[in-house]
Amino acid sequence: MAEYREVETPGEDTPSATGESKGGFWSWVVGIFTEPTATFESIAQFVSVPHPTEAGKTRDKTKWWAAVLFTLLTLMIMTTYVMFTPEGLEAMRVGMESQGQSPISAEQARVFAIPAQLIFVGIFFFVWALLAGIIVHGVSRALGGKGVFRHGRAAVCWSMIVGALGFLVRLVLVAITHNVELELSPSVLFKTAERGDILYKFLNAGFDIFTVWGTVVMLFGIAAMYKISRGKALVPTLVVWAIATALLTFMPQGGSFGGM
């Protein structure tokens, strides 16, 4: 496998070279929704910031990990709320029975099943962020893009912020409607479909409103980060979308509450 180097000579994309020092987590969060291209261009300036004490080395100041943690936190809040409601526990029981698993009590779910799911999801988020970053970087460079692995990772992780909004919206809607099976995808058109059906999971994983929105934002991010056209950026974007959709479609608990 090719080695992805993360050290880049400070140039036009670094704050020290441009004199630009603006940028911060919350301003980037807002910018992802209001001005995605300009925001990713700002984030790109912090990909390779010169190390203050070690000459020739750079630091990644894009706060990609904070974007992942923020998204993960919103997912955990929503999932915990849903799963601790009577409707959520019943949905979990029915789901386990449909997969041939032994049903568990509410107390067992609270003590074992829910924490285990949250830990698994947390690990999956960070592993996926790195894997998707590698894919984006490799495909973008093959298409003539200029950048390092950090650019791809930042594009992927910051586009996840759209998913964070989706989780918060679902939390509010579930609290109002008490419908723990509420979905925001074309799956709502198939009234007779079961939650475990492949079509149902595929539509939720790949065509949820916030999944589509986040995918478009990632496209803008890849184009801005690697300085390529949006037409070219569409290629790595679709590759990542297709892999994520397939994973969530065929995972036992995938496709619930939209994609990533």
- 52, part of any domain: no
- 17, part of any domain: no
Cα–Cα–Cα angle for 201, 157, 18, rounded to 5 degrees: 155
Q: In the structure encoding, which two tokens stand for residue 227, read together?
A: 């300085």
Q: Which domain holds residue 230?
A: 65-250
- 180, part of any domain: yes
Q: How far apart are CA 16 and CA 150, in angstroms?
A: 18
How many domains does one find in the chain? 1
- 4, part of any domain: no
pTM over 0.95: no
Q: In the structure encoding, which two tokens stand for residue 149, read together?
A: 């692995």
Cα–Cα–Cα angle for 230, 235, 237, rounded to 5 degrees: 80
Q: In the structure encoding, which two tokens stand for residue 226, read together?
A: 């690697």
Residue whose C-alpha is closest to residue 61's, from 72, 50, 71: 50
Of the listed ranges 14-23, 52-61, 117-126, 195-204, the least confidently predicted one is 14-23
- 96, part of any domain: yes
Of the listed ranges 59-63, 87-91, 119-123, 154-158, the least confidently predicted one is 87-91
CB 214, CB 144: distance < 8 Å: no
pLDDT, one tens digit per residue, over 17-58 is 333 345 689 999 999 999 999 999 999 999 988 877 777 788
